[in-house]
Structure 1
Amino acid sequence: MKAQVSLYMVTYMLLFNCMPETLYYFNNNNNIIKMTKMMVRLLLMYLEKSIILFRYFMTNNKQSASNFYFSSMKINKNKKTITKNHLNDMNEMKISEHKPLYKKLKDDEMLGYYLAGLIEGDGHIGAKYITIAINYKDIKNAYYLKKLIGYGNIRKYSNTYKAVSLNLDSKAAMLRVFNLINGKLLGPYKHKQLIDQKYDIKFNTLIKPIANFNLWDNPWLTGFTDADGSFGVYVYKSKTMKMGYNVKIMFRIMQRHVDLLKHVQKALDGSISLFKRKSVVGGYNYSATNFNSIKNWIKYFSLYPPLHNSKYIHFIKWYKVCYLFDNKLHLTKEGLDKIMSIKRNFRD
């Protein structure tokens, strides 16, 4: 049988056979450290297994490998938090061609954060019911949420408004949602509805203060995006571009309450402006157009992708354009044709 000898094995044998039985060296504090041959052997065995595991991981799991950096940053039980420094490091990495996978909510904790974001985006907390508006195209997710909550009924709005409402109008249903979102609301408006409707007295439970968590730690932003977010791709003629067209990528959230958008801006950058449209009074528009801000959203949605079916489909199409843009393929005819094809099939 043919033997295979790698470079690291040769290096290991040469170093190990040439070193003395006991090795002494100075550490950073100028203290003398003693290391025996057995200690070196154990250390090298550990490193060898780590290298083999890493090679296997990167070679045999391409989908996971593409998101290796993102998943290594994912919040775990030790509550490792993504910071601005992490974002700066991550922005230097290229976007992977492998799209982020659709993920369901794994437990009640994640469900609570998602529902809090969804309700703060497009929900209402009343005295006798809690209701969430959902686009008719995403009715499948309405039934999914109903199943996770364990209560509720789904009703269609009038024909002129293409949406359904997830209604939670029994006492058990209201208590279930109250327990899920209590302590997870970021803005004062839905929190005030809990207070005004006396949910603490109704359910004999303290209403927790307005939260102040890191948005990277949970899917609150996913719920908020499913309610009010949208993905945009714009292609327009430009005399300064080699191909004659410029590509603009945007993510935006439209909301009546600027407080919530300020939380989003603080965590993922972007800009906030007054929303100018005759049909909407007193609204605000958050937008991410700088490509570093766009990358921040890609990283977030790699951890917590949209749950609404239409939003996830839009995100994946948008992601493909971001990949082409990040790799300068929008400057080629083939890449620009792909972007235009995606845009033609892109509907918010």
Structure 2
Amino acid sequence: TLVFTELHQIIGNLTEESWNSNGEWKKILLCAGNFSISSPLTFIVLGKIYLNKKKIPGQSAGNFSISTKATARTKNTYNSYSSLPKISEHVPKHNSNLTDPEFGYFLAGLIEGDGWFGFNQLHIIFSERDVSLAYLIKKRIGYGNVYKIKDKKAFRYICKNNTGLSIIFSLINGKFVSKFKYEQLIKHNYDKTFHYKILPPSKAISFDNYWLAGFTQADGCFHISIVKSKTHKTGFSVRLEFSIKQNDDVPLKLLNSKLNMGNLSQDSSGIWCYKSTGYKTSALLIDYFDTFHLFGGKYVDYLKFRKVYIMITEGKHLEEKGIIKIKSIATKGSSETSTQEV
């Protein structure tokens, strides 16, 4: 407990060097505790007090007064969760029966994330946990085969049938956002083979279609991390991390610009990574993925991410029981496995 007499002792021990370099303001850090001090200062637990140095006529050197205009400024990290958007605990019913336009956007995003066009063939890579999606696509297209990749926890969908490729081309045409897959179609004369004009990439990301869902399905990661923290009474802070790694920086730059939050970086091998650990970003993503669904293991990872976000909006990440529960959710697996190098 910090009482007024103790504060008086602190103030009495301040010297000329205790003031900031501009000679006007001094910051005092307060310890946590219960206390009551009347005007002119208002104290806040774990806050910071800024005192106004004011020379009074006749006052001896080294003494000072406290301005009645002095204010207390505090950054309360414990209550920041209260302003986060609330979401329902009830998960929207999963929709796997997409319309052709919906499926086309999802497939375009998936191919831009982890697929490529060769001469009369399409390859898409899936993590082992998402293999059910590979078979769903095979069933939806009606052509192609799914193969296990040797020594990898991954599968490959390959379509070499012209009828199947024509169906795929008609679904994804004009729905790419970057030039790379578009240029593959041009290089291998898909327009002449299938008698379609190859439409250019949009160079834009929308939250009103399935493209981002497909792109995230390819190489997105929903990660729950619990790190040690000296500023939290439980000793831990909780982070919700969303990230995507790609060779092509264009989709990631578009995503970074669209969300207007997060960071974009490039590692020494040339791989680009978009990453965000902000709760506000999490809220935007949940609003999107509740409408435009993921599949397989990636969908399970998203549900865990979503569940922890709800706990955070309720302040449970600040309680020991909540931390234990979040640890239990997080240690049951994450989507950090990337298949881009396969």
Which range moved further: 295-304 or 235-244? 235-244
Shift of 1:161: 1.4
- Residue type at the aligned position of 1:296: L
In terms of fraction of residues, the more helix-rich structure is 1
SS where residue 345 of structure 1 aligns? coil
TM-superposed deviation, 1:228: 0.9
Flag as ranges the 4+ runs of structure 1 deviating above 6 A.
none
Q: Which residue of 2 aligns with 1:123?
A: 115
Of 186, 197, 200, the match for 2:188: 197
Give secondary structure in 2 for the equivalent of 1:195: helix
Report the secondary structure of 2:143's partner residue: coil
Q: How many angstroms apart in 1 are the aligned matches of 2:264 and 2:209?
A: 26
1:239 partner letter: K
Q: CA deviation at 1:269?
A: 2.8
- The separation in 1 between residues aligned to 2:261 and 2:143, in whole angstroms, is 37
Larger Rg: 2
Contact 2:221 2:334 in 1 (8 A): no
Q: Distance in 2 between matches of 1:184 and 1:167?
A: 20
Indicate the residue corresponding to 1:146 in structure 2.
138
Distance 1:338 1:275 in 2: 34
Amino acid at match of 1:337: I
What is aligned with 1:184?
175
Report the alpha carbon displacement of residue 233 of structure 1 after superposing the two structures with TM.
Answer: 0.9
Once the two structures are superposed, the pairs formed by residues 62-81 of structure 1 within 5 Å of their partners are: none
Would you say the 8 A contact 1:254–1:275 is kept in 2?
A: no
Supply the distance in 2 between the matched residues of 1:305 and 1:288 (Cα, whole angstroms): 20
| 1:294 match | 282
CA distance in 2, matches of 1:275, 1:98: 38
CA distance in 2, matches of 1:303, 1:103: 9
Offset at 1:214?
A: 4.9
Tell me the amino acid that sits aligned with residue 130 of structure 1.
Answer: L
Equivalent residue of 2:177, what SS? coil
The residue type paired with residue 118 of structure 1 is: L
For normalisation by structure 2, the TM-score amounts to: 0.71
Indicate the residue corresponding to 2:148 in structure 1. 156
> CA–CA distance in 2 between the matches of 1:259 and 1:133?
20
* Residues 222 and 334 in structure 2, CA contact (< 8 A), matched pair in contact too: no
> In the alignment, what sits opposite 1:334?
321
- Corresponding residue number in structure 2 for 1:15: none
Name the counterpart of 2:248: 257
Among 261, 264, 269, the alignment partner of 1:270 is: 261
The 2-side partners of 1:209 and 1:273 are apart by 25
Partner secondary structure for residue 225 of structure 1: helix
Q: Indicate how the Cα distance of structure 1 residues 346 and 269 shifts in structure 2: closer, same or farther if over 3 A, else same.
A: farther
Q: Pick from 96, 105, 109 the counterpart of residue 88 of structure 2.
A: 96
The one-letter amino acid of 1:210's match is P
Q: Is 1:316 matched with 2:303?
A: yes
CA distance in 1 between partners of 2:161 and 2:214 (Å): 23
Q: Aligned partners of 1:114 and 1:156: how far apart in 2? A: 23
Shift of 1:276: 2.8
C-alpha distance 262-105 of structure 1, shift in aligned 2 (>3 A): farther
Question: Does residue 303 of the first structure (1) align with residue 291 of the second (2)?
Answer: yes
Q: Is the 8 A contact 1:155 1:164 kept in 2?
A: yes
Q: Percent identity?
A: 36
Q: Which residue of 1 aligns with 2:74?
A: none
In structure 2, what is the equivalent of residue 235 of structure 1? 226
Aligned residues: 253
Task: Provide, for residues 286-332 of structure 1, a one-character-per-residue CA deviation record: whole Å limited to 9, x for no partner.
Answer: 1121211111101000111212x110111111111111112211111
Q: Where do 1:1-80 residues align within 5 Å?
A: none
Report the TM-score, using the length of structure 1 for normalisation.
Answer: 0.70
Q: Match of 1:245, as an amino acid? A: F
Distance 1:131 1:273 in 2: 27
Output one character per residue of 1:61-80: Cα deviation in whole Å (capped at 9) or x when no partner.
xxxxxxxxxxxxxxxxxxxx
The superposition leaves residues 91-148 of structure 1 with CA deviations (integer Å, 9 ceiling, x where unpaired) of 8531222234322142111111000000000001111201101112222111111111
Which range moved further: 113-122 or 244-253?
244-253
What amino acid is the match of 2:326?
I
| Cα drift, residue 275 of structure 1 | 3.6
